[in-house]
Structure formats: C-alpha cells, structure tokens
Amino acid sequence: MRGYSVRGYSLMELVVVLAILAVAVAVVAPVVGRTADDVRVRAELAGLAAFLRTAREQAVTRQQALEVTLDREARVQASRTVSSLLRVEADPAMPRLTFLPHGMSSGARFMIDAPGPRAYIITVDALTGRVTTQRGAL
C-alpha cells in the first residue's frame, strides 16, 4: 500500500496566522486614521500660508499696500461649510497684517491649533514678508 500525503494546513496553523493578522491590524489601523487627519490639517495649513503669500505677491505686483484681516466670525461661519479642523489665534491680539509694495510687511505670527496634540505656527517676517510654517510646541 502506498503512503498518502496530506496537503493543506492544520487548524492550529490557521489560528496562528489569523492571530498575527489581527495584531497587525490593531497596530496599523489607528495610525492610518491619524495620518488621514494629519494630511487634512497640513493641507489647510498650506492653504492659509499660500493665501498669505498670494497677498504679498499682489501687493508687490500692484505696487500698493494690501491689508489682510483675520475675521474670526467669518471663519466660524465658513468652518460650517469648509472645515473646522483648525483654530487660528494671532499674536499680537489684533489679527491684522499689512503687506507693503516693496515686499515688506507689518509682521505677524499665527498660532494654529489642530485636533489632537498638534500645533503649528505661521510667521510672516516684517522685513522680508516671507511666510514660513513650522510645527509649534503645545
């Protein structure tokens, strides 16, 4: 009589593989969710910085001063339709920024609070009008 060969996997092998997959999913799933939120926050942050850069460019192109004012009430109303991910605070307390025709500005610093333990800072240099973003401390 010839011996027979068994093909396939035992029940114990399948259980071990499923347990490993369950642990991997439990570790990876929260990271994927945070990454999606982080991408949205960074996109909104980049949009705000791009808006400020465009305002500076317009002041230089038109050769006239251009004032940007942070209207908190309008932002709250807009956040209902656009997004409410970011909370913007200006330093100094008056959220007004002026770009001058030669590229200079009145200078400003905006603190951006995002959901979770994230904060960012947008700085507009007074001498150059340069807009920079950086991760801030909580």
Q: Which domains does the chain have, with CATH numbers?
A: 11-135 (3.55.40)
H and E: helices and strands count for the chain: 2, 6
- What is the model's pLDDT at position 15? 93
Give 41's contacts (C-beta < 8 A, 6+ positions apart): 85, 86, 114, 115, 118, 120
Listing DSSP states for 74-119 in one string gives HHHHHHHHS----EEEEESSS-EEEE-TTS-B--EEEEEEETTTEE
CB atoms within 10 A of CB 108: 22
- What is the model's pLDDT at position 73? 54
pTM tops 0.85, yes or no: no
Whether the CA torsion 58, 59, 65, 70 is positive or negative: it is: positive
- Mean pLDDT for each consecutive 10-residue tract of the chain (138 residues)? 70 92 86 74 87 93 89 46 59 74 89 80 91 81
SS3 content of the chain, % helix, strand, coil (to 5): 45, 25, 30
